A and B are shown apart, each in its own frame.
Chain A
Amino acid sequence: MRHHSTVGKKERMNAMGLDREDTAEKFNDLDDVMASPAAEWKRPWWVREVAKPTMDIDWDVTERFDARKIQQVSWKKYVGEEKAKELGKRREEKVRQWMIDQKSGYSLRDRALDIAGAQAGSVGTSFLGSWAKTAEATKGEGEMFASDASRSRLTDPARPKPLSPEELGVPRYEGTPAENSRMIRSALRHFGATQVGYVELTERNRKLIYAEDAMDGKRIEFENVEKAYETNEKRVIPEKARWVIVFSIQMSEELIKRKSGLMPSALSAAATGAAYGQARNAIDQLQCFLHVLGYQGLMGTWFNGLGIAPAFAVLAGLGEIGRINRMISPEHGPLQRVFKVVTDLPLEPTKPIDAGIMNFCRTCKVCAEECPADCLSKETEPYWEPKGPWNNPGHKTWYEDSPTCRTWWAVSTAGCSTCFAVCAFSKKNLSVIHDLVKIAIAKNRIMPDKVNAFFAKMDGVFGYQDQRNIDDWWGMELPPRGTKNVKGTQLD
């Protein structure tokens, strides 16, 4: 059953003096708006939708991955407890000393910005939504949609529980997969997302959902149940939750480039931290939105979520895999962080894309040359062999040396993203020259390797990889979030 938004429209419009025929003719209801061509995701014309990602995948080799193996969780194991302890101690000393010295990019205000963006905010991520542990919904007096909104959000860890359609006494929302996809994109954009795509889970690509949670090691399982649930040992995704909403949050290019030479600063790290902070809220808002519509939105207990981010981003066509072994999109390059929510709301999958990005990475190598810890591959061709247990095998990419990367974070005292900052696709995209280069990268068939290598060289000549003055950032008047991201939207 479909619920159009026309109920009582005429009457309402009459009452408001808005019964002009031309208004009513254009869009009969919300569904018409969603189906209008303007509602589609506008990609640049040179971005080609393809049946298979540009990265080769061998699903037989791919395994459900234990998320605890990633470097953020298991770094100490990979480098050895003793060494990790020693590095941690030295890091602490440096952090404190540099604050006292007011070292550019590492002063107290730089650290404060990084910590606040990454750690503060209203919620943490959770499997079922931040309100899930709140006891039964008890409506506050005069409240319609939230249960007991009088409960202080600041002092009470149990958050107000949004009412489901059942509790509201109305049928749940129904729409076609295409309408739902459009709706989620609009909602997520409103919550702060940059790019949104969808993957339909199959027996094969389900392998990209983690086998064990990164934080508490709980098993993540699929069961033929109506509702997702959680016990002390496992988190259960219902079989009917077959869609993954994949979205990104853009990072500030101006901020991420405020590194200290090749060394990350606390200030450049703040670009990443803020994206994660914003994502936690966007994810919780999305989970709540789905709940109010009558559907489930499932997330991991940590920002890394329930599945492998670059893999889902590639399958959803947000971008292609790059030498940094992360997703690079034609519109925003690697300057975004990727998040995923599993849902039972039927969605129309978006297709993988080919914009020549992975091919460009074969000859570019700028990130690998600039990586201060030398942990990115300089091989021209991608390969199947993982570098260690922190990589999930089964796809052909440039596997990275993650523990060495993480060690560098400890040595430099800040989360590194130098490879993101220097990437040839990390641009503000105001000059048309960037589009011309990207068109050539996607379409040129005349000596493509030589032409691409020339572009990578010119990127340096034009100064795009140059060091920016760190302290100047504090005097700049930048747009919200430090990004200008109307590109590809109707406001472009």
Chain B
Amino acid sequence: MWRFVYGVVLGAGGMALWDWLKTENNTLDWYVWPLMLLALALGTLAVHHFFASRAELETKAAWIGLVIFGLPALLLSGLVVSFFQ
């Protein structure tokens, strides 16, 4: 179920990005792509780890993981968004 929701969100995001790149004739510098992927990977890990740890009944691990993986994901996302201006 959650994998499906994640797939839909990711697909929608990808399509919006594709649209943005095409219709406005915008381009992104090459280094934005690895940064975007890294932010995505860390964000995914943070969210997955949070819920999986709750399922493991490891509440402390859930919150610490959210901070350790989530914060860099947020910072990187902010950086990536700044390249879209």
A interface residue numbers (CB < 8 A to B) = 254, 427-428, 430-433, 461-464, 466
Contact = CB atoms under 8 A, between A and B. Distances in A.
8 contacts: A428-B58, A430-B56, A431-B48, A431-B49, A433-B45, A433-B49, A433-B65, A463-B59
Interface of B: 45, 48-49, 52-53, 55-61, 64-65
B45 A464 contact: no
B57 A431 contact: no
A135 to B, nearest CB: 52
B60 A431 contact: no
Contacts of A461: 64
Given A427-B56, A430-B56, A463 B49 contact: no
A462 B57 contact: no
A432 B64 CA distance: 15
User: Chain B CB within 10 Å — which of A428, A431, A461, A463 has the most?
Assistant: A431
Secondary structure type dominating chain A contacts? loop
Contacts of B56: 427-428, 430-431
B64 A463 contact: yes
Given A254-B57, A432-B45, A462 B65 contact: yes
Nearest to A428: B56
A427 B59 CA distance: 14
A432 B61 CA distance: 13
Contacts of A428: 55-58
A461 B65 CA distance: 10
B61 A463 contact: yes
B49 to A, nearest CB: 5
B60 A432 contact: no
Contacts of A462: 58, 60-61, 64-65
A463 B60 contact: yes
A430 B56 CA distance: 6
A462 B64 CA distance: 6
Nearest to B44: A432
Contacts of A430: 52-53, 55-56
A294 B58 CA distance: 48
Contacts of B49: 431-433
Contacts of A254: 57
B20 to A, nearest CB: 30
Given A433-B49, A433-B52, A464-B61, 18 more contacts: A428-B56, A428-B57, A430-B53, A430-B55, A431-B48, A431-B49, A431-B61, A432-B45, A432-B52, A461-B64, A462-B58, A462-B60, A462-B64, A463-B59, A463-B60, A463-B61, A464-B58, A466-B60
A432 B65 CA distance: 12
Contacts of B55: 428, 430
A492 to B, nearest CB: 14
A462 B59 CA distance: 9
A464 B57 CA distance: 10
**Shortest beta-carbon contacts, A-B, top 8:** A463-B60, A431-B52, A462-B61, A428-B56, A430-B52, A430-B56, A431-B49, A430-B55
Contacts of B61: 431, 462-464
A254 B58 CA distance: 10
B15 to A, nearest CB: 26
A432 B59 CA distance: 16
B45 A463 contact: no
Nearest to A466: B60
User: Chain A CB within 10 Å — which of B45, B48, B56, B60 has the most?
Assistant: B56
B64 A431 contact: no
B26 to A, nearest CB: 34
Nearest to B61: A462
A433 B50 CA distance: 11
B77 to A, nearest CB: 20
A222 to B, nearest CB: 46
Contacts of A432: 45, 48-49, 52
A463 B61 CA distance: 6
Nearest to A433: B49
Contacts of B59: 463
A162 B42 CA distance: 58
B3 to A, nearest CB: 12
User: Chain B CB within 10 Å — which of A254, A461, A462 has the most?
Assistant: A462
A432 B44 CA distance: 11
